[in-house]
């Protein structure tokens, strides 16, 4: 059984393209040197995961990314006993592997995970830097090469899906947001291959749709969706169809809201 199908381990090689918004690269590097855990806050699809992959490659550290979800338990991160060839053997989870081997463990959307996850990360996020494994009786000391990075989206309206202050206050935090217009145009053009002049109206539309966040929409258009939309257009899809598929349908299931979004799109593109 694969206990952690959602875990991705980064390929070594090229440094993933990342355009900084400020001094976040320097902050990351300093936190890494001082062995401080890092919290990335910001809306979905604004570059947090790309930033972590970029920094891992730059610092030549192995990266293990876990996309947290509401069934993810502490045991999914630390490990469990599994039956293998008639024997029960302990199998490390991704957090334990990162602590044993050194490297970055990135828990994406940590608020989605079960409450017991906070219990395992707390002793790793203070000066003890330990990971007690109750089931094996081990207490692992994190090597200097280990760094814990977590992310969450404070924009969700759900009060239950917020990070407790007792957890939040254990991290250095960096706030992420969508990049200024010109930088976002350049990123979307670079990622999709679509010429900047065709990307500009899409970014203008994204700004209009983001302004509706909190009124009719829970979330605005992400940079990720803009890249998808531009990629569809670059591959020959009509802009209207690409906008529908990438910028409107993913945002809402409500027919009235959808119709209103189409009106906004028609006025811009
Ligand atoms: P998040 O982790 O915040 O949900 P991602 O890191 O997956 O978002 O970003 C989504 C996509 O947006 C990336 O795959 C990349 O194409 C693009 N992107 C967003 N911000 C940047 C940035 N600053 N530099 C380069 N690409 C970016």
Instruction: Please give the sequence-ordered ranges of beta strands (E in DSSP) within 7-62, or none if there are none.
Output: 7-9, 38-41
| Residue for token pair 């972590």 | 52
For 248-261, the pLDDT digits (tens) are 999 999 999 899 99
Pocket test for ligand 1, best of 15, 22, 46 (most atoms within 8 A of CB): 46
Distance 230 CA to ligand 1 centre (A): 14
238 token code pair: 């009509």
Q: Are 58 and 104 in contact (CB under 8 A)?
A: no
For the stretch 86-132, pLDDT in tens is: 899 999 999 999 999 999 999 999 999 998 999 999 999 999 999 99
What's the confidence (pLDDT) of residue 143?
A: 97
Q: Which of these, 233, 241, 181, lies nearest to 208 by C-alpha position?
A: 181
Count CB neighbours of 12 within 10 A. 10
Give the pLDDT score at 8: 52
Measured in Å, residue 128 CA sits from the centre of ligand 1 at: 33
Q: Predicted ipTM?
A: 0.98
- Judged by DSSP in three states, 40 sits in strand
Determine if ligand 1 sits within 6 Å of the CB of residue 46.
yes
Query: Is residue 175 in contact with ligand 1, taking CB distance under 6 Å?
Result: no
224 lines ligand 1 (CB under 6 A): yes
Residue 54 Cβ contacting ligand 1 at under 6 Å: no
Reported pTM: 0.89
Half-sphere exposure of 194 (CA within 13 A, CB side): 27
Q: Is the CB of 190 under 6 A from ligand 1?
A: no
- Ligand 1 centroid – CA 184 distance (Å): 10
Q: What is the pLDDT along the chain (269 residues), one digit of tens a residue?
A: 344 444 555 455 688 999 999 999 999 999 999 999 999 999 999 999 999 999 999 999 999 999 999 999 999 999 999 998 889 999 999 999 999 999 999 999 999 999 899 999 999 999 999 999 999 999 999 999 999 999 998 876 555 677 888 888 899 999 999 999 999 999 999 999 999 999 999 999 999 999 887 777 778 899 999 999 999 999 999 999 999 999 999 999 999 989 999 999 988 87
Per the document, the length of the chain is: 269
Q: Return contacts of 209-216, CB within 8 angstroms, 24+ apart.
A: 209/247, 209/251, 209/261, 209/264, 210/178, 212/261, 212/264, 213/155, 216/252, 216/254, 216/257, 216/260
Q: What is the pLDDT of residue 3?
A: 43
């Amino acid at each position: 059984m694969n206990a952690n199908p959602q875990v991705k381990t980064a390929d070594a090689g090229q440094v993933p393209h990342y355009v900084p918004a400020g001094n976040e690269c320097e902050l990351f590097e300093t936190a890494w040197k001082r062995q401080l855990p890092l919290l990335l806050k910001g809306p979905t699809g604004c570059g947090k995961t790309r930033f972590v992959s970029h920094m891992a490659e730059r610092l030549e550290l192995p990266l293990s990314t876990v996309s947290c979800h509401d069934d993810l338990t502490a045991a999914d991160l630390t490990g469990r006993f599994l039956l293998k060839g008639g024997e029960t053997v302990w199998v490390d989870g991704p957090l334990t592997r990162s602590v044993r081997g050194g490297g970055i463990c990135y828990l994406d959307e940590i608020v989605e995970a079960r409450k017991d996850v906070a219990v395992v990360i707390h002793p790793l996020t203070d000066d003890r830097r330990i990971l007690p494994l109750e089931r094996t009786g081990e207490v692992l000391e994190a090597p200097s090469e280990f760094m814990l990075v977590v992310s969450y989206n404070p924009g969700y309206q759900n009060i239950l899906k917020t990070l407790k202050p007792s957890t939040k206050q254990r991290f250095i935090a960096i706030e992420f947001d969508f990049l200024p217009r010109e930088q976002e145009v350049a990123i979307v053009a670079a990622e999709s291959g679509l010429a900047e002049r065709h990307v500009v109206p899409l970014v203008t539309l994204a700004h209009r749709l983001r302004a509706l966040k909190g009124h009719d929409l829970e979330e605005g258009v992400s940079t990720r969706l803009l890249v998808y939309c531009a990629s569809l257009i670059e591959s020959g899809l009509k802009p209207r169809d690409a906008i529908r598929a990438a910028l409107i349908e993913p945002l809402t299931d409500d027919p009235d809201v959808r119709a209103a979004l189409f009106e906004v799109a028609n006025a811009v593109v």
